[in-house]
Structure 1
Amino acid sequence: MVASINEIVSIICMAFALGMDAFSVGLGIGMQAIRLKRILLIGFVVGIFHVVMPFIGLMLGSILSSKIESIAILAAGLLLCAIGFQMICQTFMKQQKPILAPVGFGLFIFSFSVSLDSFSIGLSLGLSGAATAFAITMFGLFSMVLTWTALLIGRRTHHLLGTYSELLGGVILFGFGLVVLL
């Protein structure tokens, strides 16, 4: 009984940590002018990716984990740096439409980049049966809720900071990408 409670607490802590990745990136993305319907969709897509990516990781197994984990971390860092750099450049070029907005393909790139770490966790998860389903469900739920929270905070900050909000969002994303790379 105590072991299963400890396992549940561990999974919830892990889900929160994975969701904080989406939260921090969502703050930067939320500083763009985003409608509430788009925020709802972004959160759902990020949540789905945080369910699918660890599931794929679990299916691939632990044989490939050491090789793929470093590639996944590198790819996530580079994608975040690229999105942040694009937002910074866009602020100075005064473009109306972002090159990579959280819409369509850009939404999938965003969701993919913040869920790569959950793929690595899925590769290394040694859980079985219902605990695996519980873990994956918690990953999706926490990342979805934390993404919504970050986007709403970023949206509010956008209104407070005006034109500099996108610059700040780009710096946050670029910095987070550097942290992932280092």
Structure 2
Amino acid sequence: MLETSAGYGQLITILIMAVALGMDAFSLGIGIGMKGIRLLHVLKISLLIGFFHIVMPLLGMFTGQYVSSLLGQVTTYVACGLLVLLGGHMILNSFRGGENRMIDHRTFLGMLLFSLSVSVDSFSVGVTLGMFQSDLILTVLAFGLCGAGMSILGLLLGRRVSRNLGDYGEALGGAILIAFGLLFIF
């Protein structure tokens, strides 16, 4: 499957994107962790984030494949534009006030909304990767594992570090997505 150097390049690209998307879960997890969180909630939230980081890009990839069949050659530019816009959005969100983004993580609805909110970005990236005909299983597993793992790190680190680290983490994730969008264009 990944026997060629192009296959390894795709693997590295997917892993870097998975980490970039996980930065959102990481940064917001730090904020929630600073409010105080039990280990059981860390596990529940992280599993939900991992689940949504699998489902959302999967839906996005199917959408991207459909859009790709409609747009043809324009697909590459549309996909790259989506990455640049999504990265810019993540950077702008990192500089906004954080308190309005906080959701009560102790309720099931709060956990569900938080998990979905940090996973929505992976839908857009899934659309982009669907247009590029990316490896489906590799992509969704990498996104799910990175999303869950980085949320665990963020939630646990949030109990010990300042909020500013979380904001910079989300900005870094956005910068990575912009870089890939521009790289694919040129």
TM range (shorter): 0.5 to 0.7
Residue aligning to 1:100: 103
Given candidates 22, 27, 34, the residue that maps to 1:24 is 27
Residue type of the partner of 2:148?
M
1:31-70 paired onto structure 2 within 5 Å: 31-61=34-64, 63=67
**Partner of 2:159: helix, strand, or coil?**
helix
Question: 1:100 deviation in Å?
Answer: 2.9
Question: Do the aligned partners of residues 100 and 24 (structure 1) sit closer, same or farther apart at CA in structure 2, a change above 3 Å counting?
Answer: closer
- d(CA) in 2 for partners of 1:13, 1:85: 28
CA apart distance, 1:46: 0.7
Aligned residue number for residue 143 of structure 1: 147
Q: 2:127 aligns with which of 108, 123, 127?
A: 123
- When normalised by structure 2's length, the TM-score is 0.66
| Residue 14 (structure 2) pairs with residue 11 (structure 1) | yes
Correspondence for 2:113 among 109, 112, 130: 109
Taking structure 1 as the reference length, the TM-score comes to 0.67
Which AA in structure 2 matches 1:149? L
Distance 1:141 1:15 in 2: 8
Counterparts of 1:169 and 1:151 in 2: how far apart (Å)? 12
Match of 1:154 in 2: 158
Q: Structure 2: give runs of 5+ residues left out of the alignment.
A: 69-74, 175-186
Retained in 2: the 8 A contact 1:40–1:148? yes
Question: Is the contact made by 1:20 and 1:146 (CA closer than 8 Å) also made in structure 2?
Answer: yes
Q: Which deviates more from structure 2 when the two are superposed, residues 103-112 or residues 145-154?
A: 103-112
User: What SS class does the counterpart of residue 118 from structure 1 fall into?
Assistant: helix
Q: Does 1:85 align with 2:85?
A: no
Give the deviation of 1:86 after TM superposition. Answer: 4.0
Contact 1:49 1:140 survives alignment (8 Å): yes
Whichever residue aligns with residue 12 of structure 1, its letter is L
Distance 1:53 1:81, change over 3 A: farther
Q: Take 1:60 and 1:11, find their aligned partners in 2: how far apart are those partners?
A: 18
Instruction: Please tell me the residue identity of whatever aligns with 2:118.
Output: V
**5+ residue gaps, structure 1:** 88-98, 158-167
CA RMSD of aligned residues (A): 3.7
Aligned length: 155
| Aligned counterparts of 1:135 and 1:51: Cα–Cα separation in 2 | 8
The answer on whether the counterparts of 1:29 and 1:169 sit within 8 Å (CA) in structure 2 is no
